[in-house]
Amino acid sequence: MILVTGASGVLGSALVRRLAAEGEAVRALLLPGDAAPRLRGLAGVERVVGDLTVPESLPPAARGVKAVFHAAGIVPFANGLRREMMAVNAEGAGRLLEAAAAAGVTDFLYVSSASTLGLPRDGAPLDENSGGWAGPSGYAYVDSKCAAEAHVAKFAGRMRTVTVNPGAIFAGDGTEPFSWAHLIWLVASGRLAANLPGGACVVGERDVTAGVMAAWRRGTPGRRYVLGSANVSYRELFAEVARQTGRPPLRLTAPPLVLQACGAVNSLRNRLAGDPLHAGPLNLENAGLLARRLYYRWDLAERELGFRPGPLGQLVSDVLSAMSESRRSRPDRDLPDVGRQAACRSRRSRTSRITRS
């Protein structure tokens, strides 16, 4: 039996599906009242209610489990959520580790973030040996993930612990505004007016789930592994989305100062509303990050885990396919008709060839 936390989320549900497809018995940890729509129709998955902030709810979830895949957490880059992030991402990980060790769990796989390795300068990629942060990073999310990794390290002698550090995870249909896949949704729906000036280490759903499985099966105890599909500028990423959807590529690039100004305005709106997420995903904390090239290297995962990520086009295609599937199953959702866009692009291409001939 394998316990997956965050099982109703984009990544957690993908891990549940992957494990179930490979014949593993899976137990999904869900918050009280969570209907887990992403797990709908998935037979044979045991569901258990638990909360990382409620210690007594975790031992029953860990009982009879051989491995824990810990993918739960609060993810938006919003410093206004620092208290909640430390309670869930950091202390919650410590509570789960304690419950797992007490239950005799042998393997603990933690899904962290490449951001715990530090922020690259001038686009030079970092890896697992880059040293990380010497002190607080200034970002609540990063600090909570670093604290969680410290908890994992303390249990290295009691369980086989392995940590994966994915880059920006592009998974799901992009409708969640605080997901990385939402950028693809914005471009595909024509709602983004300009490229972002920076770049990121991006990783697709099928690559990150494959990397997690490989780390569980072949990872060295106590080690961290960066997972990435490509280091790309946002201009390159958005151009690939435009290519696959038939939209014209974005020509303009937003100046960093404009991003920071917009982020500052949104952060002020958040404070006035008393809600760190009120104004959407762009805030003062992440505006500067979107102007930087945050690249990482996954050579270690390739050497030790046999990790072989797919091309950028596959990542984009998977998100667009998820959009199309969501549109078919939920026509009421606000999703771009990427299938129709691609068909129109194909017709224009054929007409162009006929005209030229």
Q: How many domains does the chain have?
A: 1
- Tell me whether residue 354 is in a domain: no
Length of the chain: 357
pLDDT in tens, 303-343: 999 999 999 999 999 999 999 988 776 655 555 555 444 44
Average pLDDT, the chain: 91
- Tell me whether residue 272 is in a domain: yes
Residue 134 confidence (pLDDT): 85
Residue 338 confidence (pLDDT): 52
Residue 237 confidence (pLDDT): 98
**pTM for this entry:** 0.90
Residue 300 confidence (pLDDT): 98
DSSP 165-226: EE-EEE-S-S-STTSTHHHHHHHHTT---SB-S-EEEEEEHHHHHHHHHHHHHHPPTT-EEE
- Tell me whether residue 225 is in a domain: yes
Q: Confirm if 93 and 52 have CB atoms less than 8 A apart.
A: yes
CATH of the domain at 288: 3.40.50.720
Residue 331 confidence (pLDDT): 53
- Tell me whether residue 357 is in a domain: no
- Tell me whether residue 351 is in a domain: no
- Tell me whether residue 59 is in a domain: yes
| Residue 197, domain extent | 2-345
pLDDT in tens, 224-252: 999 999 999 999 999 999 999 999 999 99
Residue 123 confidence (pLDDT): 82
- Tell me whether residue 355 is in a domain: no
- Tell me whether residue 350 is in a domain: no
Residue 357 confidence (pLDDT): 24
